[in-house]
Every structure is written in C-alpha cells, then in structure tokens.
Amino acid sequence: MASKFFLVFLILAIIAVRSHAGSISIYWGQNAKEGTLSDTCSTGKFDYVNIAFLPVFGNGQTPALDLDDHCNPSVSGCTNLTTDIRSCQNKGVKVMLSIGGGDGSYFLTSTEDAKQVAQYLWDNYLGGNSSSRPFGDAVLDGIDFDIEGGTRDHWDELARFLKGYPSPKKVYLTAAPQCPFPDAWMGGELSTGLFDYVWVQFYNNYCEYTGNITQLKDTWDQWTTKIRATKIFLGLPAAPTAANNGYIPSNVLISDVLPPLKNSTMYGGVMLWSKYYDDLTGYSSSIKSHV
C-alpha cells in the first residue's frame, strides 16, 4: 500500500514540475553568421522564433524588411526562407515576424493607418494573398510587436485588426516591452488581452538583475499580475556583448533567478536576444533543462 501512495505522490510531483516547465523564445535575422532559420529550429532548443525585423511601416511608408545579409528583400525577395519556415513549423516551432526594433522608422498615425498596416501584414506574411509575399506562400504563425519608438497610439487597433481576420489557424500576437512597468510605448495595449505571449526585456534598464533578486522579482510580479496574456517570459541577452547591461550568467539564472519566477502561473520561460549571441556562448543549451 505504501508503495502505491509513493507512486501517486511521484506522479503528482512530476505533473507539478511539468506544469511550471517553460520554453525558450529566440530572435533571429540580424546577423548572417547566426546560421539559417532551418538550422535554428533544428536544434530543438526553441519553441518560438521571431524573425527580426520589419523596421519600416506606417504613415504611408512602403514597408521594408531588414534581415541583414540573410536575404535582400528589395532585390530578390526572401523566398529562400519559404522552406525554412515550413521546416520550423513542421517541428512544432512557432515562427513570428517581429515588427519595429531598436532602429527603424515606424509610426501609426490613425485608425485607418493601423488598418492598412494590418492588411499589409495579413496579405504578405499571414493568411492573405499578395503577389509580392517576401517569404513566398509560407504562412507565419503571428506577429511580434517590438515597439521601441515611433508613436504611442493605435497599437491596440493594429492588434485587433490582426486578430479579426478569419483564419483557419490561430494568429499569435506577441510583444517585447521594456521591463519598466508600464511599458512606455505599449503600456495600455498590453492590458487588452490581445497578446498571447509577452517577453519582457529585462536588460538595458534599471529593473534588470544586479545581484539582488528582489528588484527583478518586484517588477516581474507587476507584469505577471497586471497584464492579461497567456504567458510572460523573462527576456535576457544571450551574451555579455548582446546588450549594454542585464546579462545574467547561466548558473546564476538557474540557481537564483528562475526558481522564484517559476512560482507564478504566468511564467512562460525565457526569451533570448539573439541567435547570433547564443551561438557565441551556448547560453540556451546551458539553461534548456532548467527553464
């Protein structure tokens, strides 16, 4: 009888551990030395890949994709990624297009502007139709909002328009706000419940980890209790050189940082910037089994 109770206890413990298991999200596209998109997904380490970036759109501008030297959208398009995207999706990896970024020219000036940008994204990257789809007929899983400038208005309308298209498969919306709460650019929009995953950038800001978990945990608690999303991720640089500050050595992340964060039911895992820097350090490999 005792052995049966022990078996039940063990099963429940395993379920509890798995319920707190997280995923790793990675940004890809800003350094040609980071390998192919297909190779990134083939590692088995990432559940979400954000193709970065579409840094020009809105306010009547012609949208422009910038993927470093992976491809030249203005000359030959990026249809070489069509097979890679499908390969990722066949492995269960969700592939998003990240719009915005730290450098770019992006604005939403009105509701109509948001509607037009949404139509462009739908027709060229999601389930719509266009004669000039940069990734050919590959259909991405969603759009990632990495809004770090431009305007502070109409992002919720863009999100609603994107969610409003009839689609045979779910359209994911994700976001990468800065850690100070609320986010300076998308504070209100992130409270709408329109976003599935929010990977908060805990770097290049005062709320990053500096050796004392209290400050980071206090900020984390704000995000996980006040934002309506499916899951919240801890966003980190994958190498000391990937950001001005905020890098956490993997052993410190595993022993000191992740355990208190994983107590939250909103915990989703870790987001890393970026694949290139992760290749330099092997960061994702060292944390994968602990996330």
How far apart, in whole angstroms, are the C-alpha atoms of residue 285 and residue 142? 26
What's the predicted TM-score (pTM) here? 0.93
How far apart, in whole angstroms, are the C-alpha atoms of residue 261 and residue 74? 43
Q: pLDDT value at position 9?
A: 42
Integer CA distances (angstroms), 285 to 69, 142, 170, 232, 250, in order: 26, 26, 29, 21, 10
How far apart, in whole angstroms, are the C-alpha atoms of residue 266 and residue 224? 6
How far is Cα of residue 236 from the mean position of the Cα atoms in its chain? 11
**DSSP structure class, residue 214:** H
- Is 287 strand, coil or helix? helix
**CA torsion sign, 273 to 279 to 282 to 287?**
positive
Integer CA distances (angstroms), 203 to 45, 65, 136, 139, 229, in order: 22, 25, 35, 31, 21
Rounded average pLDDT per 10-residue block, the chain, 291 residues: 46 44 96 97 98 97 96 86 98 98 95 98 97 95 96 95 95 98 93 96 96 95 96 98 98 98 98 98 98 98
Q: Which amino acid is at 285?
A: S
What CATH class has 22-290?
alpha beta
- Domain residue limits, the chain: 22-290
Phi, psi of 254 (to 5 degrees): -65, -45
Q: pLDDT value at position 278?
A: 98
Extract the runs of DSSP E, i.e. beta strands, from 77-141: 94-101, 105-106
Structure tokens that stand for 74 in this block: 């203005």
Say if CB 181 and CB 227 are below 8 A apart: no
How far apart, in whole angstroms, are the C-alpha atoms of residue 258 and residue 253? 6
How far is Cα of residue 45 from the mean position of the Cα atoms in its chain? 14
Q: What is the pLDDT of residues 237-259, one digit of tens each?
A: 999 999 999 999 999 999 999 99
Q: pLDDT value at position 188?
A: 87
CA-atom Rg of the chain in angstroms:
19
Residues serving a catalytic function are: 148
- 78-91: b or e for each residue (b if 16 or more CB lie within 10 Å)? beebbebbbbbbee
How far apart, in whole angstroms, are the C-alpha atoms of residue 240 and residue 248? 8
